[in-house]
Amino acid sequence: MQELIDRIRSWEAKSQVLEPNQDLRNKELTSVSNYANTFLNALPETKTFEFSEEMSDRFHITGQPHSIVEILDIYKREVAEKGINAASGGHLGYIPGGGIFASALGDFLADVTNEYAGIFYASPGAVAVETALIDWIKSLFSYPSDAVGNLASGGSIANLIALAAARDKYQIKGEKVEKSVVYLSAQTHHCVTKALRIIGLEDVVLRTLPIDDHSRIQIEALSGAIAKDRSLGLNPFLVIGSAGTTDTGAVDPLFEIGTICKEENLWFHVDAAYGGFFILAESVRHLFRGIELSDSLVVDPHKGLFLPYGIGAVIVKDREAVFHSNRAGADYMQDAYREDLPVNPSDLGPELTKHFRGMRMWLPLQLYGTEPFAACLEEKLDLTRYIRLKLADLGFNLGPEPDLSVTYFWMDRGDQSDSFNRHLLKLIHEEGSAYFSSTLIEGKFVIRSAILSFRTRIISVDKAIELISRCLDKTQEHFEKGS
Ligand SMILES: Cc1ncc(COP(=O)(O)O)c(C=O)c1O
């Protein structure tokens, strides 16, 4: 026995380092906080993009301890200074988010107290916080109080949860899969078809509805397509609308789609991952009319609420459908599962052990209130109008006026347009003081501008325009020389 106790004590002594005392904690915290301040203070002058294919060998797990100073140096040089600087206001590519500082404090608290946010019994407080956030989202989108929701890791998983619920509500399985029809548009985010594959619906019929000049679903096509599919003996069951398309910033005619879905008894899912929080902006709120008719909806706080990556929300009206996909029990958890307790997040998504990600959203909302978020979103809409005017001044062709804050542009050079714009973007990426991405619109190469970072201010847009202008001159020279 004594031998066993001595061994245990020796293990304890060897692993004591895992529990630093207050002085050590403060020291490490100060180092990290100093680095964070240096990083944030330098952001306005830091490059937005610096690409290197090289994978550092400094990350190797050597099994030996390293000082926090050394680790922070690796982080600075090999992580934070490489690739797209997603914290930068110059990030105008993909869908930027930003990462407000208060969220980091929320994550810090959630990690220190290590809340288990999957089950009410384990952390009633954490689950209550997440429930309050879901209730707020439900109220924003006029969802009924008995709808359920979950804070997932991002829009892709949030969409997956909603689509699995639609599948289970309509019992799309077995031979029914091949006869079932999903309606979407060419602008539907690819995570939707990916999710359909993951949930076993790879073989459903995908009907791509035509879109108008503004990339919105042409509503007249929907009823006809449903009728035609029914006449072919198929089983229409799901329509996907987007409230903010990733390529074009468009909001589909939600009210009209929702009305048809009600008449036709179809599940209406809205992917508002990118655009949903613009409902806070009064100037575009009308675009979301009818979103309340949907059966499920996804909105990403790590996009439109400027939170750091790692949080996407889903709300679903039919709780039984969500339970069907996700509810599961285990004998070893019998103490935690009690019918009389509120709903467990683990019954509303694939995760059991769940990071308390609600804290990164709840803390900033409580600290600042919602007004600054709404103002920041209005600012992004105006900055989108501003950048379009500036781009037009430089001679660019512009995509149609977007509903939200993603737009695209290209220089018309006839047959050489694609290679001209590709070259231009290459130079923009090489210089890296701002970052734009590209896409294909009807097969044509265009440059995308996505303004959503809370740090994108008028000064960031002016800097980005100067960058484009410089690179445009060089591209022109390059093509003149070549011809
Ligand atoms: C409209 C839309 N839906 C879904 C997603 C996927 O979200 P996530 O990247 O958080 O998984 C995105 C990402 O940009 C999006 O823009």
63 CA distance to ligand 1 centroid (A)? Answer: 37
Supply the pLDDT for residue 53. 85
93 CA distance to ligand 1 centroid (A)? Answer: 13
Supply the pLDDT for residue 483. 64
372 CA distance to ligand 1 centroid (A)? Answer: 23
191 CA distance to ligand 1 centroid (A)? Answer: 7
- CA gap 368, 103 in Å, rounded: 12
241 CA distance to ligand 1 centroid (A)? Answer: 14
Return the structure tokens found at 237: 């069951």
Q: What Rg value do the Cα atoms of the chain yield, rounded?
A: 25
74 CA distance to ligand 1 centroid (A)? Answer: 30
Domains of the chain by residue range: 107-368
450 CA distance to ligand 1 centroid (A)? Answer: 13
With the most atoms of ligand 1 within 8 angstroms of its CB, the residue from 150, 163, 189 to mutate is: 189
107-368: CATH topology: Aspartate Aminotransferase; domain 2 (3.40.640)
Q: Give the model confidence (pLDDT) of 318-344 as tens digits.
A: 999 999 999 998 999 998 888 888 999
146 CA distance to ligand 1 centroid (A)? Answer: 26
Ligand 1 nearest-atom number relative to CA 154: 10
Strands 444-450 and 437-441: antiparallel
Q: Give the model confidence (pLDDT) of 200-257 as tens digits.
A: 999 999 999 999 999 999 999 999 999 999 999 999 999 999 999 999 999 999 999 9
Supply the pLDDT for residue 413. 96
Is residue 397 within 8 Å of 387, Cβ to Cβ?
A: no
Ligand 1 nearest-atom number relative to CA 275: 1
Nearest CA to ligand 1 atom 8: 155
Please state the rounded mean pLDDT for residues 256-260.
98
- CA gap 57, 55 in Å, rounded: 6
With the most atoms of ligand 1 within 8 angstroms of its CB, the residue from 190, 192, 217, 246 to mutate is: 246
Which amino acids bring their CB within 6 angstroms of ligand 1?
A: 95, 154-156, 159, 189, 191, 242, 244, 246, 271, 273-274, 300, 312
Counting beta carbons within 10 angstroms of the beta carbon of residue 32, is it exposed (0 to 12), middle (13 to 18) or buried (19 or more)?
middle
Nearest CA to ligand 1 atom 7: 155
Ligand 1 nearest-atom number relative to CA 246: 16
Burial 11-24 (b: 16+ CB within 10 A, else e): eeeeeeeeeeeeee
Bridge partner residues of 243 (DSSP): 251
Supply the pLDDT for residue 481. 86
Please state the rounded mean pLDDT for residues 48-58.
89
H/E stretch holding 132: helix 124-140
237 CA distance to ligand 1 centroid (A)? Answer: 23
- CA gap 308, 300 in Å, rounded: 11
Nearest CA to ligand 1 atom 2: 273
294 CA distance to ligand 1 centroid (A)? Answer: 18
Please state the rounded mean pLDDT for residues 158-175.
98
Q: Give the model confidence (pLDDT) of 151-166 as tens digits.
A: 999 999 999 999 999 9
Q: What is the three-class DSSP state of 19?
A: coil
Q: What is the DSSP letter of 50?
A: E
Please state the rounded mean pLDDT for residues 341-350.
95
With the most atoms of ligand 1 within 8 angstroms of its CB, the residue from 191, 278, 452 to mutate is: 191
Burial 257-276 (b: 16+ CB within 10 A, else e): bbebbeebebbbbbbbbbbb
Per the listing, tokens 């949903």 go with 276
Supply the pLDDT for residue 339. 85
For the chain, what is the mean pLDDT?
97
Is residue 406 within 8 Å of 450, Cβ to Cβ?
A: yes
Burial 197-225 (b: 16+ CB within 10 A, else e): eebebeebbbbebebeebbbbebebbeeb
Ligand 1 nearest-atom number relative to CA 158: 11
